[in-house]
Amino acid sequence: MSQMQAPKYATYQAVRQAIEEERTNCQELVDYYLAQIEVSTATNAYVEVFAEEAKVQAKALDEKRAAQPDGIGRLFGAVISIKDVLCYKDHEVTASSKILGGFRSLFTATAVERLLAEDAIIIGRTSCDEFAMGSSNENSYYGPVKNGASLDRVPGGSSGGSAVAVQMDTCLASLGSDTGGSVRQPAAFCGVVGMKPTYGRVSRYGLLAYGSSFDQIGVLSHSVEDAALLLEIMAGNDPMDSTSSHRPVPAYSKELVAKERYRIAYFGKALESEGMHADIRKATHQLIEDLQHAGHTVASVDFDLLDHIIAAYYVLTTAEASTNLSRYDGIRYGYRSSNAQDLMETYKKSRTEGFGAEVKRRIMLGTFVLSSGYYDAYYTKAQKARRLIQERTNAIFEDYDFILAPASPTPPWKIGEKEDDPVSVYLEDIFTVQANMTGIPAICWPVGTDEAGLPIGMQLMAPRFAEQELLAFAKGLNGQ
């Protein structure tokens, strides 16, 4: 077990209060988080730490406040890390892959830009499964990330580095990406909060694509309150992303007041399945009882498409990945093989040497399902299944406010334990992919630990653009 500790500042509100009362400043905050990074290097959470740059930025912010106390941003002094799939101008972004080694971004992702505009400090980039493809953070070119609760365990993926960065209190919050649960499952494994917004709520401009119709930038934090604040600042239409919504953005952080009674659905049959770990089943039933005692309506509903959801998800996301990753060809940027003799060999060898095993597996699967003779048999059927899943999910929301489910059917497993069984790792996403298949928001928060002391996380899903209600309810459930 590692030496985990309670966060020095569990919310940005606490940070801001400490600054206003002159108990700390931006420079001291950065020094504290850099020290935390130093003592938690065994987790391998960071790919790169922007130590000197963060110190310079902190000093400039302190000077700005001294000269103009009323002119500071809404995130003044908030120290944030970003997943290694988010572009940050003049900084490397590699998707934790060899094929992008040394590549420096020419622009900043909209989500990151909006945080910086409110005086946030970016302290570093965190490791992830290569191109965000994985559920364990073992697929990173930089080596596996280790769970701070137990260094022999996975932190979840693909945003495992971001989850551990928050877990080990090396930053106030971290930005991740969620294609099929990549924010929520690591949050569950690391005992932190993970928020995935509605598809289109946050611009994807500057996010390296895995599955373009699934990907969404999310937040990992100590508190629901901070997830609400960061979402409020990042959300909103972006001319650079045609899929970003034009809907007005509510003041999420100021409206975290839940109703007295909610109607909550859960999938009873899934809870009793063989693949469900006993401790997670017990924690889920306990939460259901607690909610019922609090006066909420909690009922089991049938969702007979759960058995098909993983298959459809992996057909569609790998198809999109095979297209998105075709741009990494050794010609325009990134890794180029030195062993190639002609153009075709440059393509083949650069991609063979540059991509890891899991990414190559998914590219080949995606190319197969899109190929002539198999397109209708796989891709078209998966799209039909996606539409059915959307319709069935929307039908549940006609009668219920939220859907409750564990974020993962199992606790974090040992590093290397499932190395030869990728399908069992894919099945870990059984409860999280629904939100991405349907584009709805979902949040995960910690509910305790199993008998081995490993974190357990629970998730709530809500109708599209119902983040306000979701965050308000989750805040109370997270003990805030």
DSSP H helices, 370-480, are 381-397, 422-426, 433-438, 467-477
| DSSP states of 283-340 | HHHHHHHHHHHTT-EEEE---TTHHHHHHHHHHHHHHHHHHHGGG-SSSSSS---TT-
- Structural contact between residues 458 and 404, judged by C-beta atoms closer than 8 angstroms: yes
Q: 290, 287, 195: which is closest to 233 by C-alpha? A: 195
DSSP 254: G
Expressed in angstroms, the distance from the first to the final Cα of the chain is: 27
Asked about 259 being catalytic, the answer comes back as: no
Question: Exposure of 412 by Cβ count < 10 A (0-12 exposed, 13-18 middle, 19+ buried)?
Answer: buried
Contacts of 241 (CB under 8 A, 6+ apart): 110, 203, 204, 205
Which position among 40, 159, 182, 350 bears the catalytic label? 182
Contacts of 168 (CB under 8 A, 6+ apart): 2, 4, 36, 40, 43, 45, 148
Rounded CA-CA distance 309/385 in Å is 8
Q: 100, 19, 84, 95: which is closest to 50 by C-alpha? A: 84
- Structural contact between residues 444 and 193, judged by C-beta atoms closer than 8 angstroms: yes
Contacts of 26 (CB under 8 A, 6+ apart): 19, 57, 58, 59, 61, 62, 65, 76, 77, 121
- Structural contact between residues 118 and 88, judged by C-beta atoms closer than 8 angstroms: no
Local structure of 118: helix, strand or coil? coil
Chain-centroid distance of CA 408 in Å reads 14
Which position among 40, 81, 83, 146 bears the catalytic label? 83
Rounded CA-CA distance 440/230 in Å is 18
Chain-centroid distance of CA 128 in Å reads 10
Asked about 372 being catalytic, the answer comes back as: no
Rounded CA-CA distance 215/324 in Å is 12
Which position among 96, 135, 150, 158 bears the catalytic label? 158
Partner residues linked to 153 by β-bridges:
414
Asked about 174 being catalytic, the answer comes back as: no
Q: Which residues are catalytic?
A: 83, 158, 182
